[in-house]
Amino acid sequence: MKECGTILNEKEMSRTLERLAFEVYERRGDDDNLAIIGIQRRGADLAERLKKLLDERLGRKVPLGKLDINLYRDDWTTNLELTPTINCSEIGFDVESKSIVLVDDVLYSGRTIRAALEAVLDYGRPKRMELLVLVDRGHRELPIQADYVGKRVDTVGDEHVNVLVTERDGEDRAVLVRS
């Protein structure tokens, strides 16, 4: 993969997360059933940051969960090159009747989100689920869209978006790469 440019630098990423937290606060701030679930791995890292921002704004603790969707994917059994990396799901609250904000780093085909929706439903039936993504790169294969978007980027064929987070990568950036 060859890096083609920075989509969000560290400062822009921080400001984008603050804006997204404010958008969630505006839309769901009065909802006592608000909860956040981050999709493992980087979505979970971003969800943790979002939770901290919302906790400060709301003056209360918003429940946070982490979700592993690998066994729900529809491609790992057919793609011989793909070996799923199994992480753990940690949802320490009852999802029944919650207003869940599902968090991921990049929205592309919609298949990861489809898998996440199935995985959450195995825990119960939320009142509602909304999707928050740091970057939407288009090219949907399923009718899925984000309710909260940090940045939209038009990509072509062999371009991808990689989100780097300090917790895993030692830096905060979103980059466009070409294979």
Instruction: Please write the tens of the pLDDT for every residue from 81-103.
Output: 555 566 689 999 999 999 999 99
| 6, part of any domain | no
| 164, part of any domain | no
Please tell me the total count of domains within the chain: 1
| 177, part of any domain | no
- Give how far Cα 10 sits from Cα of 88, 104, 127, Å: 28, 17, 34
| 5, part of any domain | no
Mean pLDDT of the chain: 93
Contact 100, 116 (CB under 8 A): no
Domain that holds residue 31: 12-155
- Residue 44 in this model has a pLDDT that exceeds 70: yes
Structural tokens at position 168: 């895993």
Phi and psi torsions of 159, nearest 5°: -90, 145
Residues 62-89: what's their mean pLDDT?
74
- Residue 59 in this model has a pLDDT that exceeds 70: yes
| 107, part of any domain | yes
| Per-residue confidence band for 38, with pLDDT thresholds at 50, 70 and 90 | very high
> Residues 43, 45, 48, 53: is their CA dihedral positive or negative?
negative
Give pLDDT, residue 71.
Answer: 77
| 161, part of any domain | no
> Which carries the bigger pLDDT value, residue 160 or residue 85?
160
What is this structure's pTM? 0.92
Residues 110-126: what's their mean pLDDT?
96
Which CATH number fits the domain that encloses residue 127?
Answer: 3.40.50.2020
Of the candidates 38, 20, 45, the residue with the CA atom closest to the CA atom of residue 164: 45
CA distance from start to end of the chain: 4
Give pLDDT, residue 91.
Answer: 96
Structural tokens at position 24: 């969630």
